């Protein structure tokens, strides 16, 4: 169905056609009620001939419309016109990722940036139980300001009913190849999709890995001469290595791609949030912003003073390509007696790799200086590893899956950490764990400190507040408002210091 300029679809007036593909035609339209331009995707009339399919389309479009995330296309409305369903979404200016990839591989820095944004969008959708199932470069849009948008969320699962055959010859916008070659969806399927098995969010992670591989190499990971050969490659073959001797692709980045492309879902990253954290560890702290050391906050009084602790020990983390962590300690103010600096190396197990972003506080030394705890990825997800200084190797702590930003209790007996939308604690000796509280905001970054008075303060980037909660558990309450990070209690157990961002240009 082709709509002429001026055609009315309820409150929307068609202005011009801007694209078409196997799933319908896309138009620029004007929302006369809200006085804004929108995009309208008119789907084939065959959708309306099956009442169950139309019902599912409306339900899933509503689910997609419930997603409010900067890296997901905003869906505003659904309707039908002369028997053809249509979907109303935000109008984007820019180009598909496919258009960029036609010019060759992306620089690693740009690929990581795009990948982080895609992973963050996936994480937001997966948390609401929405799985894309058809992630590919044609469904990734890059706006003119570099913002990544995932398209067609919630609709991909409708593209093939259980009794239907997925064809490799369905036309994808601007992506046409010679007859007999694989095109469109097939090259980005997960192994479980190829087998016709049930899929979940980890299928999206495999497709994501295929896209990241293509961004870095300029080659489709599993493309072969025919559809049958491509499906076989997805099931049984590995794509060529990215980290060749003359390549600019780092080994940690190669590991992330390989983990996404594991044939068994259980060996991939288990959540898109974990994947986003892994990518963030590679990107470093790329934004520049102003920050200042705020005055201390007193939990028992309204007065505050600049911190006066005689010295503070800071742990430094550097990560090498060979999977080692080097640790050092130094004094901001050297004590009166000479104290030697301790330097040593922690070897990471072969199948694990560390989270390298120091901003996330993923390496912490115990207050009694007997242990080093750090976060590393193992079998697709983060966990805390513990290295007693009198031992030769670190050991993973069971029960800390998904952990990030750990911090010690003052007596060095327990570790607190963030995981699964909660603040948790675990006893080092007994390995018994408990939930301290549910996080007030969505899981995203975090930092905390534990006082000798039994109080924990913590913050999250998403809601710009500092909370306090008893270390034994309870309901968190707000202590400070404003974009803050890097909390640290002072020895009196009532006051803490923190950084407050002056310019939130992130």
HSE, side-chain direction, 13 A CA sphere, residue 445: 18
Residues 394-418 have a mean pLDDT of 91
Same domain, 24 and 68: yes
Sorting pLDDT into bands at 50, 70 and 90, what band is 491?
A: confident
In this prediction, residue 485 carries a pLDDT of 64
Q: Identify the CATH number of the domain in which residue 171 sits.
A: 1.10.510.10
The rounded distance, in Å, linking the Cα atoms of 41 and 81 is 11
The rounded distance, in Å, linking the Cα atoms of 460 and 439 is 9
Q: Identify the CATH number of the domain in which residue 45 sits.
A: 3.30.200.20
At residue 122's C-alpha, the angle toward residues 189 and 138, to 5°, is 50
Q: Considering only residues 99 and 47, tell me which one the structure prediction assigns the higher pLDDT.
A: 99
Please state, as a whole number, how many other Cβ atoms lie within 10 Å of the Cβ of residue 473.
13
In this prediction, residue 502 carries a pLDDT of 54
In a domain, 506, yes or no: no
Residues 44-67 have a mean pLDDT of 73
Where are the extended beta strands (E) located within 184-300?
291-293, 297-298
Q: Considering only residues 177 and 214, tell me which one the structure prediction assigns the higher pLDDT.
A: 214
Alpha carbon 435 to chain centroid, angstroms: 23
In a domain, 374, yes or no: yes
In this prediction, residue 314 carries a pLDDT of 35
Number of domains present in the structure of the chain: 3
Which of these ranges, 208-222, 260-274, 280-294, 401-415, has the smallest mean pLDDT?
280-294
> Where does a domain end: 283, 307, 323?
283
Sorting pLDDT into bands at 50, 70 and 90, what band is 128?
A: confident
Same domain, 325 and 444: yes
In a domain, 213, yes or no: yes
The whole domain housing 313 covers 291-501
Q: For residue 134, indicate whether it is catalytic.
A: yes
Angle between helices 251-260 and 201-217 (to 10 degrees): 140
Q: Identify the CATH number of the domain in which residue 496 sits.
A: 2.120.10.30
In a domain, 1, yes or no: no
Same domain, 129 and 86: no
Give me the residue label for tokens 């190499």.
Answer: 217
In this prediction, residue 216 carries a pLDDT of 95
User: Do 381 and 400 contact (CB within 8 A), yes or no?
Assistant: no
Which of these ranges, 272-281, 308-317, 469-478, has the smallest mean pLDDT?
308-317
| Residue 182 reports pLDDT greater than 50 | no
Same domain, 67 and 116: no
Ordered strands of the 140-143 beta sheet? 94-96, 140-143, 148-150
Kindly state the DSSP code that residue 91 receives in the 8-state scheme: -
| Residue 74 reports pLDDT greater than 80 | yes
* DSSP assignment string, 346-366: EEPPTTEEE---GGG--EEE-
The rounded distance, in Å, linking the Cα atoms of 149 and 361 is 29
| Residue 85 reports pLDDT greater than 60 | yes
Give me the residue label for tokens 């002369």.
Answer: 82
Same domain, 198 and 342: no
In a domain, 2, yes or no: no
The rounded distance, in Å, linking the Cα atoms of 125 and 133 is 12
In this prediction, residue 25 carries a pLDDT of 84
Residue 329: exposure state from Cβ atoms within 10 A (0-12, 13-18, ≥19) = middle
Same domain, 212 and 306: no
Same domain, 181 and 313: no
In this prediction, residue 350 carries a pLDDT of 61
Q: Which of 365, 362, 353 is nearest to 389 (CA)?
A: 365
The rounded distance, in Å, linking the Cα atoms of 138 and 117 is 16
Residues 96-117 have a mean pLDDT of 93
Count of positions (residues) in the chain: 506
In a domain, 362, yes or no: yes
| Residue 44 reports pLDDT greater than 80 | no
Same domain, 221 and 310: no
Same domain, 135 and 276: yes
In this prediction, residue 259 carries a pLDDT of 93
User: Do 76 and 177 contact (CB within 8 A), yes or no?
Assistant: no
Q: Which two tokens stand for residue 463?
A: 């809601």
| Residue 7 reports pLDDT greater than 50 | yes
| Residue 179 reports pLDDT greater than 80 | no
The rounded distance, in Å, linking the Cα atoms of 268 and 203 is 9
In this prediction, residue 187 carries a pLDDT of 86
Same domain, 365 and 324: yes
| Residue 171 reports pLDDT greater than 50 | no
| Residue 184 reports pLDDT greater than 70 | no
Q: Which two tokens stand for residue 145?
A: 């300001």
In a domain, 41, yes or no: yes
> Where does a domain end: 60, 90, 120?
90
| Residue 161 reports pLDDT greater than 50 | no
Residues 435-460 have a mean pLDDT of 85
Which of these ranges, 188-197, 199-208, 227-236, 324-333, has the smallest mean pLDDT?
324-333
> Where does a domain end: 44, 72, 90?
90
In a domain, 381, yes or no: yes
Sorting pLDDT into bands at 50, 70 and 90, what band is 437?
A: very high
State pLDDT tens for residues 331-361: 334 444 555 666 666 666 666 666 654 445 6
Most confident option among 323-337, 347-361, 470-484: 470-484
How many helices (H) and strands (E) in the chain? 9, 29
In this prediction, residue 498 carries a pLDDT of 79
Which of these ranges, 208-222, 223-237, 439-453, has the smallest mean pLDDT?
439-453
| Mean pLDDT (the chain, rounded) | 77
Of the residues 31, 77, 134, 152, only one is catalytic, namely: 134
Same domain, 183 and 323: no
Q: Considering only residues 7 and 309, tell me which one the structure prediction assigns the higher pLDDT.
A: 7
In this prediction, residue 307 carries a pLDDT of 35
Most confident option among 43-52, 203-212, 471-480: 203-212
| Residue 117 reports pLDDT greater than 60 | yes
Most confident option among 262-271, 320-329, 497-506: 262-271
Residues 397-423 have a mean pLDDT of 91
State pLDDT tens for residues 246-277: 577 888 899 999 999 999 999 999 999 889 88
Same domain, 134 and 12: no
| Residue 209 reports pLDDT greater than 90 | yes
Sorting pLDDT into bands at 50, 70 and 90, what band is 180?
A: very low
């Amino acid at each position: 169905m082709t709509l002429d300029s001026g055609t009315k679809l309820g409150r929307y007036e068609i202005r011009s056609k801007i694209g078409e593909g196997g799933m319908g035609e896309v138009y620029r339209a004007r929302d006369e009620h809200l006085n804004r331009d929108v995009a309208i995707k008119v789907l084939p009339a065959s959708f309306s001939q099956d009442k169950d399919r139309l019902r599912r389309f409306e339900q899933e479009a509503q689910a997609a419309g419930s997603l409010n995330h900067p890296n997901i296309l905003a869906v505003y409305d659904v309707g039908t016109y002369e028997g053809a369903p249509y979907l109303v979404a935000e109008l984007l200016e820019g180009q598909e990722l496919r258009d960029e990839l036609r010019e060759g591989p992306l620089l690693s820095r740009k690929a990581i940036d795009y990948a982080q944004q895609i992973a963050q969008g996936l994480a937001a959708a997966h948390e609401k139980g929405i799985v894309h199932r058809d992630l590919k470069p044609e469904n990734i849009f890059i706006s003119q300001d570099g913002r990544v948008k995932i398209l067609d969320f919630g609709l991909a699962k409708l593209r093939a009913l259980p009794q239907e055959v997925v064809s490799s010859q369905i036309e994808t916008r601007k992506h046409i190849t010679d007859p007999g070659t694989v095109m469109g969806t097939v090259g980005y399927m997960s192994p479980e999709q190829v087998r016709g098995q049930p899929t979940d969010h980890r299928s999206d992670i495999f497709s994501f890995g295929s896209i990241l591989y293509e961004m870095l190499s300029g080659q489709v990971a599993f493309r072969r001469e025919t559809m049958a050969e491509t499906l076989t490659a997805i099931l049984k073959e590995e794509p060529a290595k990215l980290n060749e001797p003359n390549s600019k692709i780092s080994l940690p980045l190669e590991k992330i791609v390989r983990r996404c492309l594991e044939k068994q879902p259980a060996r991939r990253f288990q959540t898109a949030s974990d994947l986003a954290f892994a990518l963030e560890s590679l990107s470093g702290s790329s934004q520049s912003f102003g920050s200042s050391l705020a005055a201390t906050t007193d939990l028992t009084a309204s007065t505050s003073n600049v911190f006066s602790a005689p010295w503070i020990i800071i742990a430094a983390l550097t990560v090498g390509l060979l999977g080692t962590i080097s640790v050092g300690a130094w004094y901001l103010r050297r004590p009166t007696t000479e104290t030697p600096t301790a330097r040593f190396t922690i070897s990471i197990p072969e199948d694990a790799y560390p989270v390298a972003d120091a901003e996330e506080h993923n390496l912490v030394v115990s207050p009694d200086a007997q242990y080093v705890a750090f976060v590393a990825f193992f079998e697709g997800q983060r966990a805390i590893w513990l290295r007693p200084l009198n031992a030769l190797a670190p050991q993973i702590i069971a029960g800390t899956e998904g952990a990030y930003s750990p911090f010690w209790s003052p007596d060095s007996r327990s570790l607190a950490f963030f995981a699964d939308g909660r603040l948790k604690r675990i006893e080092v000796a007994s390995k018994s764990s408990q939930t301290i509280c549910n996080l007030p905001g969505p899981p995203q970054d975090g930092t905390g400190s534990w006082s000798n008075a039994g109080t924990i303060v913590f913050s999250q980037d998403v809601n710009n507040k500092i909370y306090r909660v008893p270390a034994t558990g309870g309901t968190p309450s707000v202590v400070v408002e404003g974009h803050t990070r890097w909390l640290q209690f002072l020895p009196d157990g009532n006051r803490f210091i923190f950084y407050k961002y002056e310019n939130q240009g992130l």
